[in-house]
């Protein structure tokens, strides 16, 4: 899993709009430095934090701070991310159009915290020997056999253009397949995702990194954003 091309924008208009209700623009003390980074002043930060604690209907400015990032993650993680539909937009690479265009290797799958010492009750059989779906039990030590099978389907499809091979390639593609999506969301979305009740302590390392902090994970990436600790993870400061 990795995060690339992160961009954050909107602090200027979010702060201006935040002060509209009380017409307190003269109290704003934020500015942009020589690198064009927004430096939030003490007055503005104090108001931001009070609005955040007041609830969703008061912290509308958080919906006007935008984040765009390219996330490469396994399909099993994207299924959970897709829960967050409101306020998020994503364009993904397409398995429909591009799955067969490049070789299928181990690098195509999420294995950051893969435990190859685990074993199953049955040994993996080649697909030619499998008599039923129930008989198809993969031993983790033989995962390369599955990758070889997928690659053979891909090559057969390219050779014959027979869509049956492509359909089987789609059918047997593991949940660990890595897909890249360009995602746009807001600080309000991130506040919801990173809350204690959502993904901050999630058992998937791709969310929280609890069992393997060295793996790239969503919460660690969110913490790297401008003013994340003071806005998105404000509750931790209050606890301290």
Look at residue 209 in the predicted model and tell me its pLDDT: 87
End-to-end CA distance of the chain: 31
Looking at the structure, do residues 30 and 80 belong to the same domain, yes or no?
yes
Q: Which of 77-86, 170-179, 207-216 has the lowest mean pLDDT?
A: 207-216
Last residue of one domain, picked from the residues 124, 158, 175: 175
Whether 81 shows a pLDDT value over 60: the answer reads: yes
- Are 81 and 11 within one domain? yes
164 and 53 fall within a common domain: no
In whole angstroms, give the CA distance from residue 142 to residue 125: 9
pLDDT for residue 224: 97
Residue 174 pLDDT > 60: yes
Task: Report the range out of 78-82, 128-132, 196-200 with the highest average pLDDT.
Answer: 78-82
Count of structural domains within the chain = 2
Angle subtended by helix axes 143-160 and 163-171, to nearest 10: 160
- Hey, CA dihedral for 208, 212, 214, 216, is it positive or negative? negative
Residue at 103 is within a domain: no
Lookup result for tokens 């009380």: 22
Task: State whether 126 and 225 are in the same domain.
Answer: no
138 — pLDDT class (breaks 50, 70, 90)? very low
* Residues linked to residue 32 through DSSP beta bridges, in sequence order: 38
CA–CA separation, 217 and 187 (whole Å): 17
Residue 52 included in any domain = yes
Please count the other Cβ atoms lying within 10 Å of the Cβ belonging to residue 81: 20
CA-wise closest residue to 213 among 223, 226, 227, 198: 223
Summarize the confidence of residues 160-173 as an average pLDDT: 92
In a shared domain, residues 189 and 165: no
What is the rounded distance in angstroms from the CA atom of residue 225 to the CA atom of residue 218? 11
Beta strands in 20-177 (DSSP E): 31-32, 38-39, 66-74, 89-92
Read off the pTM: 0.85
Q: Is the model's pLDDT at 179 over the cut of 50?
A: yes
Average pLDDT, the chain: 87
Residues 125 and 169 in one domain: yes
Phi, psi values for residue 162, rounded to 5°:
-80, 115
Same domain for 81 and 6: yes
Q: Any bridge partners for residue 66, and if so which?
A: 9, 186
How large a percentage of the chain has pLDDT more than 90? 69
Asked, for residue 98, whether it belongs to a domain, the answer is: no
Residue 96 domain flag? no
- Which range marks the domain in which residue 61 is found? 2-91+179-239
In a domain, 101, yes or no: no
Residue 61 has pLDDT above 50, yes or no: yes
For residues 141 and 184, membership in a common domain is answered with no
SS3 for 184-232 is: EEEHHHHHHHCCCCCCCCCCCCCCCCCCCCCCCCHHHHHHCCCCHHHHC
Distance CA 177, CA 95 (A): 10
Q: Where a domain ends, among 127, 143, 175?
A: 175
Q: Which helix (H) or strand (E) holds 181?
A: strand 178-186
């Amino acid at each position: 899993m990795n995060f690339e091309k992160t961009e954050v924008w909107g602090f200027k208009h979010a702060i201006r709009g935040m002060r509209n209700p009380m017409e307190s623009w003269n109290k704003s003390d934020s500015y942009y430095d020589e690198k064009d980074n927004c430096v939030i002043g003490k007055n503005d930060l104090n108001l931001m934090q009070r609005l955040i604690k007041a609830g969703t209907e008061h912290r509308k400015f958080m919906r006007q701070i935008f984040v765009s990032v390219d996330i490469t993650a396994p399909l099993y993680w994207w299924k959970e991310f897709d829960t967050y539909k409101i306020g998020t937009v994503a364009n993904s690479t397409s398995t429909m159009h591009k799955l067969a265009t490049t070789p299928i290797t181990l690098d195509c799958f999420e294995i950051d915290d893969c435990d190859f010492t685990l074993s199953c009750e049955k040994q993996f059989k080649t697909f030619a020997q499998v008599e039923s779906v129930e008989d198809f039990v993969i031993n983790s030590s033989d995962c390369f056999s599955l990758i070889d099978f997928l690659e053979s389907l891909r090559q057969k499809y390219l050779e014959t253009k027979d869509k049956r091979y492509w359909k089987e390639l789609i059918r047997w593609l593991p949940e660990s397949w890595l897909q890249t999506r360009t995602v746009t969301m807001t600080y309000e979305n991130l506040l919801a995702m990173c809350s204690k009740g959502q993904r901050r302590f999630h058992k998937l390392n791709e969310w929280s990194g609890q069992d393997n902090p060295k793996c790239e994970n969503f919460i660690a990436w969110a913490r790297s954003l401008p003013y994340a600790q003071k806005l998105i993870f404000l509750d931790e400061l209050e606890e301290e």
